[in-house]
Structure 1
Amino acid sequence: MKILVISAASLFLALGGAAVAQTTTVVVPGEVKTYVMKQETPSVTFEGDVAVGTTLPDTVEIHTIPDQPDYGYVVVNKKRVLVNPKTRAVIEVVQ
């Protein structure tokens, strides 16, 4: 019986943590989006879904944004995406 209670508690904590992580949003400054939309950058092909949280492989070149060290961008599968340059994770799909 103790094992069942511990397992249920562990499951509750694990799911609770996941729910909190999913509600976290990043507010990207408007000037970052404006800059990215104005750039003429060729698209790269990526196998798989490009969505918030997707980690891009090292083979995908992330472009820097002047005076914005917390943001990078890349055009993937003809979609402009904002990326955290440190983690390579997609922050937002702009277009």
Structure 2
Amino acid sequence: MRIPFSTSLAGILLLAGVGAVAAQDVIIEPEQETIVREYVKKQPLASVKIPGVELNIGSALPDTVELHEVPNVKYRYVVVDDRTVLVDPGTRKIVKILQ
């Protein structure tokens, strides 16, 4: 059985696109993470529960969840299930879960 060249090419391009998306992971510089950790210690928040949302990188938080600013840091934070979560304020997607 022969697969047409155009079908093979489409499959290869699709796989290449998946790799490009995976390469766009958010990288938080160690200095920024240190700033966030220190700020969170000084400005503790009550933990919230968000039914139906799994705490995973890339999960989006609903608009009802208040995001809190960290001075000089692009991302916002919230404490969910006793875990500090960094969120991209534009997309509301989780970019880092601090342990």
Which of the five TM-score ranges fits, normalised by the shorter chain? 0.7 to 0.9
In the TM superposition, residue 57 of structure 1 has moved relative to its aligned partner by: 0.9
Establish whether residue 66 from structure 1 lines up as the match of residue 71 from structure 2: yes
Establish whether residue 7 from structure 1 lines up as the match of residue 7 from structure 2: yes
Take 2:18 and 2:41, find their aligned partners in 1: how far apart are those partners?
Answer: 32
In the TM superposition, residue 37 of structure 1 has moved relative to its aligned partner by: 4.0
Higher relative contact order (CA 8 A, sep 6+): 1
In the TM superposition, residue 74 of structure 1 has moved relative to its aligned partner by: 0.6
The one-letter amino acid paired with 2:11 is: L
Residue in 1 that maps onto 2:27 = 26
Take 2:65 and 2:82, find their aligned partners in 1: how far apart are those partners?
Answer: 14
Change (3 A) 1:36 1:11: farther
Establish whether residue 44 from structure 1 lines up as the match of residue 48 from structure 2: yes
Contact kept, 8 Å, 2:53 with 2:59, in 1: the verdict is no
Structure 2 residues without counterparts, runs of 5 or longer = none
TM-score, length-normalised on structure 1? 0.78
Contact kept, 8 Å, 2:53 with 2:61, in 1: the verdict is no
In the TM superposition, residue 67 of structure 1 has moved relative to its aligned partner by: 2.7
Provide the identity percentage.
35
Partner SS for 1:75:
strand
Establish whether residue 92 from structure 1 lines up as the match of residue 96 from structure 2: yes
Residue in 2 that maps onto 1:75 = 79
Partner SS for 2:84:
strand
Structure 1 residues without counterparts, runs of 5 or longer = none
Q: CA RMSD in A?
A: 2.0
Q: Which structure: larger Rg?
A: 2
